[in-house]
Each structure stands twice: as C-alpha cells, then as structure tokens.
Chain A
Amino acid sequence: MCLGIPGKVIEIYEAAGVRMGKVDFDGIVKEVCLAYLPELQVGDYTIVHVGFAITQLDEESALESLKLFRELGAFEAELAAEANHEVP
C-alpha cells in the first residue's frame, strides 16, 4: 500500500488551482499532484504514492549510502582475504 515509485519531474503546471506535474517513470509518464512539495523543480526526482509526490529524492544522500555499501564490500573482501591467508 505504501508503495512509492521514484520518478523524474518533467513538467509543472496548475490545474484547478492545484500544483500538478508530469513525472517520468523510466519512460512511463503520469500526472502527479505536486501540492505537497512546493519547492520541487523540473529535473528533480521524487517518490510518488497514489498519484502524489510525497518527498524529494536527495541525490547526495543516495550517493553517500551507495559509497557506504561499496566501502563495506571492500572491507568484507579484505576480511575474507585475511581469513584465507591465515589458513595454511
């Protein structure tokens, strides 16, 4: 139910006094209500739930998480190499 899909804002406009927009989900474009994200700009990524943009995706945080996972991978590889080294 709380499924949210990330997509890219490609157009912003007003319809019946409500801030709306077009969001591109990897080729599928849907109309989305942007009323709750007044600062969202064209080109930004957002998470859409039942036709509403609920949060802006933060690129920097995403990259930081991925960097952490990479470092963890390198660390685990090191540990594994060490463990292998100890076994005669």
Chain B
Amino acid sequence: MKYLDEFRDPAAAQALFQEIARTARRPWVMMEVCGGQTHSIIRNGIDQLLPPTVELIHGPGCPVCVTPLEMIDKALAIAARPGVIFCSFGDMLRVPGSAGDLFGVKSEGGDVRIVYSPLDAVKIARDNPHKEVVFFGIGFETTAPANAMAVVQARQLGLKNFSMLVSHVLVPPAIEAIMSSRHNRVQAFLAAGHVCSVMGYWQYGPLAEKYHVPIVVTGFEPLDVLEGIRRAVKQLEEGRAEVENAYPRAVRYEGNQPAQKMLAEVFTVTDRTWRGIGVIPASGWALSEAYAEFDAARRFTVEAIRTQESPLCHSGEVLQGLLKPNQCPAFGKECTPQKPLGATMVSSEGACAAYYRYGRFAMPESLQPLAPA
C-alpha cells in the first residue's frame, strides 16, 4: 500500500540501524510515547536489533491502558442498566474493572456494542429513540476530534438520548509528569505521530527547553521509528535538546487547525487520573459547559465506587517505564491476554500484550539453535 510499503524497506532499515550504532557512542535511554509505536517496535524486533547503547522505554501512550479504574467501573455500572445501549471501541471490552469487564456485562444480558467510529454510536442513538445510548469516549488527542464530532452531531440532530462517558488524556502533561518524576531515566522522547497530526508540535518546544530533552515527532512504520531514534540519538550525542519532526508526510507544525478549533469548543482541560500512575494535573479533557448535557457522568448517577486493583499487577511500573513487562512476576503466568490482570495486557498496544504476543518471555526465535536439516 502506498505510504506504507516504502517505509518498511529492509535495506533502508539496515542502513538506519548501522547509522544509529555508529552515532550512539554513549548509552542513551529514550521513550516512545505511543502504544502504536510500542507495538511496531516489538513486532519488528527493533529493540532487539538496536545497539546495546540505545534503550527504549515504553511510555504510557495506550489510552485503553491508562483509562482510570474508576471510569471503567462507572462504565460497567452504566452499561448494566436496563434501557442502555453502551457503545465502545472494541479494545475496552476486556479491560478489567474492579469486578468484571464490559464483556461480562454483555454476557449477562447488557446491551454492549462495539463501534468502529463514534459516529456509529450517534447513528445507533438515532435508530433507537427509546433507548439511552452511551458512548465511551476515551483516547488521546488523535481520537478527540472524532469524539467531539459525535457530540456536535448529536446536538445538530436534536438527540436527547445520546451521551458520552469522557475520559480523554493528553500527551504533553504526561511527558511533563515523566520528566519531573525523581525515578525518571528518560533522556529523549519519540513523540506520538498521529497525536501531532492533530495537535501539531508547537506545544513541545517549552518542554524540550525546560527539561533539556530532545523530542522527535515519530511515525509508526519501521523506517519512521528508526528515523525518530536516529535523530534523537544524534541530538543526545551533540548535546542538543530540540523538537524535530521525523514524520513530515503526516505532521505539520501547526497541526490540524479546524480540529483544534472544534476541540477547544467541545472539551475543557481537567485533572485526570491515569491508571497505574495517579493524578496528573491538567492532563485530560472533559466535556465543556456548553456540551455538559451530553455528559454521561452527569446524566447517570453512579453510586460511590470502591475501586480494587489486582494486587499482583505491576502495570503502573510498566506504564512509567520502571519495569519491562516480562520482569513482572505475573507476566504470562497469572496474567495473559485471555485473563488479564491489568489493562496493559489487554489492548494490542499495551506493552504487556505486545511482549506476550511476540513471545518476549522466551528466548527470541532467531537466537535459538536451528534444528538439524
């Protein structure tokens, strides 16, 4: 496919690996922020082919993984109500709440539906005027314009039976939280390409300056990821801390202006709890006052929730890059994608799920002795 295949060329990847190995003279630690990048890195074995001087830490950029437990519990409570059709992206259905998940609600008779686009949920609301249709509005900045449009369209259509449970998270405050943690090891960031497609990268200059940390806007194909790493290493070796764009075919400095305008109208910045991490100030979006009537959290009063995480789950440390997934004692034992203890084992973009799927608990296949011919 155009714009994909060219960026998967093995010969060019080899050259990039060589260039990175030649440039990285000292050990460096960098974080890829986005779960899509984590998936690409593990699937393509990029982390294993990098020189030992370059360590990748997987960031908290999987929205499914960081959606707070309290919000999952709220979703479970709303979805279980009679007369409610609860719509969600498929990834959310298996995310464990304090007791059960959305699949469980569905199997007990709840009307839980997977949608591809938030506009599908609006359509379901239009087609089911006697039901309350609730959409689980999660995601980073990339997904927010779509969720915003769903609310705007619901208003235009005069729908009174549509609402959204909003749990949006934002990348720049997460970078700030990671950099200001006393446990931090990250020396450079690969910024999430599609977040920047929407938001541009004008927000990152002050962060790069304040923490003297290179931030390289990076795409998702193997060559994109390698180019992001190459540029970050080059900056680190030269003592620079700048914002660079290594994904120019899809990202412009100013981002998508019509989308940003819509986001400013529909959402308002709020403090947000990140699952496994805690509260990060001003790190989320909630519906603005102008759209408060569509807020499912206001429409449905949910009784006080007592959240309970699995005591075996170390996903918080994984999300902060303090622990590699296969260093968790429960990894691949008590915790698997079929029976996840934490959200990082659920989403295909969760670091634990990626490690499990690509067999990172055993010796890599390439290193195992070949069977005799």
Task: Answer whether A50 and B89 are a contact pair too, CB < 8 Å, given A4-B197, A61-B248, A65-B249.
Answer: yes
Selected contact of B145 from candidates A54, A57, A64, CB within 8 Å: A54
- Set of chain B residues within 8 Å of A86, measured between Cβ atoms: none
A-B contact number at CB 8 A: 149
Q: How far is the CB of A77 from chain B (nearest CB, A)?
A: 8
Instruction: Kindly supply a per-residue 1/0 record for chain A positions 53-75, scoring 1 wherever the CB is within 8 Å of any chain B CB and 0 otherwise.
Output: 01101110110111011101101
Is B259 part of the contact surface with A, judged by Cβ < 8 Å? yes
Q: In the docked arrangement, what's the CA distance between A25 and B262, Å? A: 27
Determine if B250 and A57 form an interchain contact, defined as CB atoms under 8 angstroms apart.
yes
Q: Do B116 and A55 touch (CB < 8 A)?
A: no
- Which residues of B are found within 8 Å of A16, using beta-carbon distances? 153, 156-157
- Residues in B whose Cβ lies below 8 Å from that of A76: 14-15, 18-19
Q: B204 at interface (Cβ–Cβ under 8 A)? A: no
Q: How far is the CB of B257 from chain A (nearest CB, A)?
A: 9
Q: Is the CB of A1 within 8 A of B16?
A: no
CB B247 to nearest CB in A, in angstroms, measures 8
Interface of A: prevailing SS = mixed
Closest Cβ of chain B to A53, distance in Å, is 9
Q: Which residues of B contact A62 (CB under 8 A)?
A: 3, 6, 249
Q: B7: which A residues are within 8 A, CB to CB?
A: 65-66
Q: Is A3 located at the chain interface by the 8 A CB criterion? A: yes
Question: In the complex the two chains form, is B146's CB within 8 Å of A33's CB?
Answer: yes
Nearest A residue to B260 by beta-carbon distance?
A36
Residues from chain A with a CB closer than 8 A to the CB of B146 are 33, 49-52
Instruction: Please name all residues of chain B whose beta carbon is closer than 8 Å to the beta carbon of A25 when the two chains form the complex.
Output: 1
Contacts of B252 in A (CB 8 A): 55
* Of the residues A1, A54, A72, contact of B197 by C-beta under 8 Å: A54
Q: How many residues of A contact B (CB 8 A)?
A: 42
With most chain B CB atoms within 10 A of its CB, the pick from A2, A8, A18 is: A2
Q: Are A4 and B194 in contact (CB under 8 A)?
A: yes
Q: Which of B61-69, B284-292, B365-373 participates in binding chain A? A: B61-69
Contact between chains at B227 and A69 (CB < 8 Å): yes
Bound Cα distance A54, B197 (Å): 7
The answer to whether B12 touches A36, judged by C-beta atoms less than 8 angstroms apart, is no
Give the complex CA separation of A25 and B145 in angstroms.
21
A2 and B142 within 8 A (CB):
yes
Binary flags per residue of B42-62, CB closer than 8 Å to A gives 1, else 0:
000000000000000000011
User: Beta-carbon contacts of A23-42 to B below 8 Å, as 1s and 0s?
Assistant: 00110000001011110000
- Pick the contact of A36: B119, B139, B143, B145 (CB < 8 A): B145
* A88 part of interface (Cβ distance < 8 Å): no
Question: In angstroms, how far is the closest chain A Cβ from the Cβ of B319?
Answer: 14
Q: Do A26 and B1 touch (CB < 8 A)?
A: yes
Are A47 and B256 within 8 A (Cβ)? no
A2 touches B61 (CB 8 A): yes
Cα distance, A76 to B12, chains bound together (Å): 10
> Which of A47, A54, A61 is the most central at the interface, judged by chain B CB atoms within 10 Å of its CB?
A54
Among B35, B62, B145, B220, find the residue whose CB has the most chain A CB atoms closer than 10 A.
Answer: B145
Q: List 27 A-B contacts (CB under 8 A).
A: A1-B63, A1-B138, A1-B347, A18-B149, A35-B149, A36-B145, A36-B258, A38-B258, A45-B2, A49-B142, A49-B146, A50-B143, A51-B118, A54-B197, A54-B198, A55-B251, A55-B256, A57-B249, A57-B250, A62-B3, A64-B248, A69-B227, A72-B15, A75-B19, A76-B15, A79-B18, A80-B18
Interface of A with B (CB < 8 Å)? 1-4, 6, 8, 16-18, 25-26, 33, 35-38, 45, 47, 49-52, 54-55, 57-59, 61-62, 64-66, 68-70, 72-73, 75-77, 79-80
